[in-house]
Structure 1
Amino acid sequence: MIKYESIEELVTEAEKRNIKISQLVLEDQAKTMEVSELELYEKMELSFEVMQQSVKDGMKKDQKSMSGLTGGEGYLMNQYVTDKDGGLCGNLMSKAIARALSVAGCNASMGKIVAAPTAGSCGILPGCLVSLYEDRGFDKRAIIMSMFTAGAVGMVVAARSSIAGAQGGCQAECGSAAAMAAAALVELMGGTPSQCADACAMAISNQMGLVCDPVAGLVEIPCVKRNVSGLVIAYSSADMALAGIGAKIPADECIDAMREVGDALPASLKETAGGGLATTPTGRKLRDKVFGN
């Protein structure tokens, strides 16, 4: 049985058996939960379908958050992609950005999402995976299997560090989600378990120290747009790993460093809305707009 205490453990076991991390995790989780692999796979398939639906729900023109502070970002980005032939980032990346915004917007409007690993970072993994499925025609089973790899990474991060903004800052939410997505993307592209680990490490290191400073204490500003940053970091980290660029600092050490940085952050920068963007003049005005003086 896998302990999910290190990325190294996952990589070593997968490479020893010459299988993907996802297959290793599916087999292990099925035994641990005492269910069939098919049953577990079908549950993950349902999660992917929820991701697809949350993209659609969040991309509606009239989508608005409960507070009214955000809404329609996914729609606007999708229109821009169409009008500007992909924009600066190109069609795949720009559409992925639109999807990440849409899912985060769906969450802000109390729609149904998959916390991956949290609601605040829910747009990153679906933004990456739904885009490869719908725009690049990747095999659906391969997409769903990659979610087991993403989940395993998330389990290791949760065990060694944190996935909660209140404990580790936004690096623990969007950083973890980007690491999960990066590993899944590498596997989907035929990368090795070691390359999955490299991508995971680079994604975490590139969001190290990211604070959690939600305006008005709501998971909207800057949270919705930070899902985009996490998505782009996931794609770029995966591509670097697939190109043979090593992380230099092992994934587990990156996760441990993220924990140390999170512990060092003051409470004002850990989901309390006591610092950062939340306490800027505009941030305070927006808070008052929602809750009154």
Structure 2
Amino acid sequence: MLKQPASIFNDVIGPIMRGPSSSHVAAALRIGNLVKQMVKGKLKEVIVEFDTKGSLATTYHGHGSDIGFVGGLLGFGPEDDRLTDSLKLAEKQGIVVSFKIVDYPAKHPNTYRITVISNDNEIKRLTAISIGGGMIEVQEIDGFEVEISGDFYETLIFLNKIDEDILKQKADAIKALIGDFDFCNCLTNRQRGLINVKTSCQLPDKVIKQIESFEQVENLIQLIPVLPIISRKNCNVPFRNIGEMLQVALEGNLQLWELALMYESARGNIPKQEVFDKMKEIVILMKSSIEAGLKGTSYEDRILGPQAWMIEKCKKENKLIPGIFNTVIAYITSMMEVKSSMGVIVAAPTAGSCGVLPGTIIGVATEMGFSIDDVVKAMLAAGMIGVFIAEKSGFAAEVGGCQVECGAASGMAAAGLVQLLGGSAQQCVDAASMALQNILGLICDPVAERVEVPCLGKNIMAGANAIACANMALAGYDKVIPLEETLVAMDEVGRMLPPELRCTGLGGLSTTETSKKIYNALKKRAEKG
């Protein structure tokens, strides 16, 4: 199957969620949701194994992978307010879920090896990974290698006592019966077969029953997508790289937000107005989250208490160095506090960096009197830059360090600010490149396994970097290194970082004595509660 182009709403701006980490909570929830669909009977037992050398072995509880995964098993959405109680709710329903640390050769640091058992004694084994920003991929089911990202309706047809020739005949008959399908993969493994059909809509019950009646078909599973934008074959977008995009901008005299509308409309096969309206809903939610955070949040299992109000208070008392950035600090802090208290936020591009984009763009827009539609355009522009980052490196700190989370958000915010001020597409791209150049090598070293420290400071630093680089681009500064080359360098640098500095809790501030003391204190508090 050809790799689908990145989507602003799948890969970059979203999901709307609760929890400290999109790689952990939202992605785990999506994996759990697909696991739930793997069996037809009631869930009885689910075993999740994390590799000893992967990031999840040390962070799955502190970052909320457990509550997210179990929430998915229970059918919750990523924004559901029951998420924090998902472990207890599963236990009440008689579902036994265990998380184990096992030594096995995982290829990705965010690997889930899962066994699911139903009350009807159905057993399914699968391997899935979290690849950043809530995005996932199921890589193996019952020994068959698959590519399931949650962006298609998936029909999995398992056959027994079969060889490649018979499997091909069965597949041809099934394809003829379905008619309109996007992709069909046929796999064999020791006289067993799997036909995986991907479609952009659910197959009718009549077709399903006909397939199930075929000789040698032993089981059929249907999976409903977990991503907001459905993929399809022949998914053509107006440009696939930055050079092509800037050429389209030049020829059509288009701003970056208009290019984003054009791109996402083609990617999702939806009208441009729907793209704009969808982003507007997201911006409104972001503003609501900021307002909620400024009022103060409370949550036991976190390091930092509410602090966003302190900036506003000191501003009124003239105790701060004046300037627009004080509002940005307050807004970024507010958003991070909502995230850490399990409030509703937008992972943009991740939950760990969720303060940068809204805090910076909405903060500047508020201070300068821009309208909500202006903010929507700025966020679309930022999302377009995020598409290229998603294509080049992705947003997983476990793979590339915090430079692909807070760093990526800084580059996106810089482009968004240039758009807000009416800059050209070229200036937006240049601002993003400068911002990313400044932040290469940023490590991920969360204190006490919580996405709070030094995450808050890095979000605020990323906002300051975005403002500086937006002004530099608008003033005409030379970015020197084009964004395309900067993205390649960022990916290379991220993979050079030692695993200890990539969200494993095994290096940097994570291993300080104070971090250990905070971790133990939080653990004791949780045990008492």
Question: TM-score, with normalisation over the residues of structure 2?
Answer: 0.53
Q: Could you tell me which of 255, 258, 266 is aligned with 1:23?
A: 258
Structure 2 match to 1:39: 274
Which digits, 9 at most, give the CA deviation of each residue in 1:187-217, with x for residues without a partner?
1112111111111011101111000000122
For structure 2, list consecutive stretches of 5 or more residues without a partner in the other structure: 1-235
Question: Which one-letter code corresponds to 2:376 in the other structure?
Answer: I
CA distance in 2, matches of 1:5, 1:289: 49
CA distance in 2, matches of 1:182, 1:290: 36
Q: Could you tell me which of 446, 454, 458 is aligned with 1:222?
A: 454
Q: Could you tell me which of 424, 440, 456 is aligned with 1:208?
A: 440
* 1:169–1:270 CA contact under 8 A, matched in 2: yes
Question: Which one-letter code corresponds to 1:123 in the other structure?
Answer: G
CA distance in 1, matches of 2:264, 2:300: 37
Structure 1 residue 127 displacement after superposition: 1.0
CA distance in 2, matches of 1:68, 1:30: 40
Percent identical: 36
Q: How does 1:230-245 map to 2 (within 5 A)?
A: 230-245=462-477
Q: How does 1:144-159 map to 2 (within 5 A)?
A: 144-159=376-391
- 2:315 maps to 1:81: yes
Structure 1 residue 125 displacement after superposition: 0.8
- In structure 1, the residue corresponding to 2:350 is in which secondary structure? coil
Structure 1 residue 160 displacement after superposition: 0.5
Q: Could you tell me which of 269, 283, 291 is aligned with 1:48?
A: 283
Q: Superposition RMSD on alpha carbons, in Å?
A: 1.7
Runs of 4+ in 1 over 6 A off after TM superposition: none
CA distance in 2, matches of 1:52, 1:80: 22
For structure 1, list consecutive stretches of 5 or more residues without a partner in the other structure: none
Structure having the larger proportion of residues in strand: 2
- 2:243 maps to 1:8: yes
Structure 1 match to 2:11: none
CA distance in 2, matches of 1:243, 1:208: 23
- 2:506 maps to 1:274: yes
Question: Which one-letter code corresponds to 1:237 in the other structure?
Answer: C
CA distance in 2, matches of 1:35, 1:285: 51
Structure showing greater radius of gyration is: 2
The number of residue pairs the alignment matches comes to 290
Further displaced range: 179-188 or 72-81: 72-81
Structure 1 residue 146 displacement after superposition: 1.7
1:3–1:174 distance in 2 versus 1, CA, 3 Å:
farther
Structure having the larger proportion of residues in helix: 1
- In structure 1, the residue corresponding to 2:441 is in which secondary structure? coil
CA distance in 1, matches of 2:239, 2:338: 31
- 2:246 maps to 1:246: no
Of structures 1 and 2, the one scoring higher in RCO (CA 8 A, sep 6+) is: 1
Structure 1 residue 243 displacement after superposition: 0.7
Structure 1 residue 40 displacement after superposition: 1.6
Structure 1 match to 2:221: none
CA distance in 1, matches of 2:313, 2:430: 35
Further displaced range: 142-151 or 230-239: 142-151
Q: How does 1:83-122 map to 2 (within 5 A)?
A: 83-84=317-318, 87-88=320-321, 90-122=322-354
Structure 1 residue 78 displacement after superposition: 2.0
Structure 1 residue 139 displacement after superposition: 2.5
1:250–1:58 distance in 2 versus 1, CA, 3 Å:
same
Structure 2 match to 1:64: 298
- In structure 2, the residue corresponding to 1:113 is in which secondary structure? strand
